[in-house]
Structure 1
Amino acid sequence: MEEFLLFLAVGFLAQIVDGSLGMAYGVISSTVLLSFGVPPATASASVHAAEVFTTAASAGSHAVNKNVDWRLFGPLALGGVAGGIAGAFLLTSIDGNIIKPWITAYLGFMGLMILWRAVRGVRPRKFPVKYTPPLGLVGGFFDAVGGGGWGPTVTTTMVGAGSEPRKSIGTTNAAEFFVTSAISATFLAALLTGHWETTDGLADHAMAIGGLILGGLLAAPLAGYVVRIAPVRVLTFAVGILVTLVAAYQTARLVGWL
């Protein structure tokens, strides 16, 4: 029960931040799971299983609040689905112990990128619609491999290119539902076909997954509202510092300093 309540709090806070920034639910959740010793593929599968539910609620909230740019939504979602499937297939094909250092480094990079976004701000440049499919492809791939790269990749690029933050965040969140669903289906297919033979006790983490789902669902309806009133720059700094510090902690464990 203690584990369930912990991950309920993690899921709630991560979804509040994700709803207001268009990023960080997957990064925060997967970072915490990795800190508990959960293997990379299992952590990514767990986070995406939870996100199937939370992203659906968040997408609905952003759509109701008219935060979605429907011109960008379709190509972004299609590219994300393709990249997510490729990334999930790769992650289930290799030993988790081999990729864990790379995942930790990736999460650290994401933390630094979020901090860079907070410091740099937004330049007044339009993001071309034709670049949304490749952006979605890269974002979906990173999301599957890292357990949380969709928002940091997609939202950061769109806002950094001058797109309206509210529309960038809402569109990214809405498309994320389809990306997450595709990645979760790939993990499930790999498990059922024997391609992913070592799940490293996926069922043992059911309480954590349940907590992430419930916490995210409780927070997700607030996403469309929070994106309009939250101090985005302060939250961006907070997320970047948190993810960077946790990644540094994981690195210290990997090299034997802790």
Structure 2
Amino acid sequence: MALPGMLYFIIFRYFPMWGLLISFQDYQPSLGMLQSKWVGFEHFQRFFFDASFGMLFRNTLLLAFYNLVFFFPLPIVLALLLNEIRREMFKRFIQTIVYVPHFVSWVVVVGISYIFFTTEGGIVNDILAALGLPKINFLMSEEWFRSMIIAQVVWKETGWGTIIFLAALAGVDQQLYEAARIDGAGRFRQLWHITLPAIRSVIVILLILRLGNFLDTGFEQIFLMLNSMNREVGEVFDTYVYNVGIQQGQFSYSTAVGLFKSVIGLLLVLGANKLAKKFGESGLF
């Protein structure tokens, strides 16, 4: 039963790692990996001393940090709220509503954002104008770019993120709640002393996994939201790799950038896992 899953990871996850070698080569497609010139860490040095490295690192780090701070806790909060709903039919209806945005593509999400926030006929700016307030160019503004990115992620993925937490909450022994009610504990006390401790290990594991993708800010979403006016705050590693690797054909250099990002993710996972064990949690491994 495990064989299909193992084959998937071997073929699509582990076997492609062979291609990381080109980050240490001056890769030429006509020569192939075996005959291309070996250049060592030349591409990494070029990247670290590039004028755009500071901008890319800052933008990626800020978006990743905002995602972690503002988005990660929301599925937990929503799952706790859904868990408190006692009418099963109403609960399933709300779950369906909050799951739906996950299945909407980023192209559609960005299109909806343009409809709402454009200065020419956008609903939000029309409301501002009706209130006598000046219109705001949300889509071209550096100040609003990160807020819009996080807002889109929250709208699209918060509901879907509750699935694992709701599954964990379903396994909590109901006798604990009954005993707590007998002892006079209210809903908040039950939440604090029973519900949260019951799902703490799940939260820790998902946080560790999240840190592994800490610098993955989402290529498609950001690429669609980028323009010449907000590129200084919106260009991240993923879009940079696309620009230099696919559009400019610098395969070795773009692979080196991607490898750097992956190494940072690995170090974050190892560090978070070790820290979790120090605080008494089981960790990821």
Common topology (TM > 0.5) = no
When the two structures are superposed, what TM-score results if normalisation uses the length of structure 1? 0.32
When the two structures are superposed, what TM-score results if normalisation uses the length of structure 2? 0.30
Considering Cα pairs closer than 8 Å and 6+ residues apart, tell me whether 1 or 2 has the greater RCO.
1
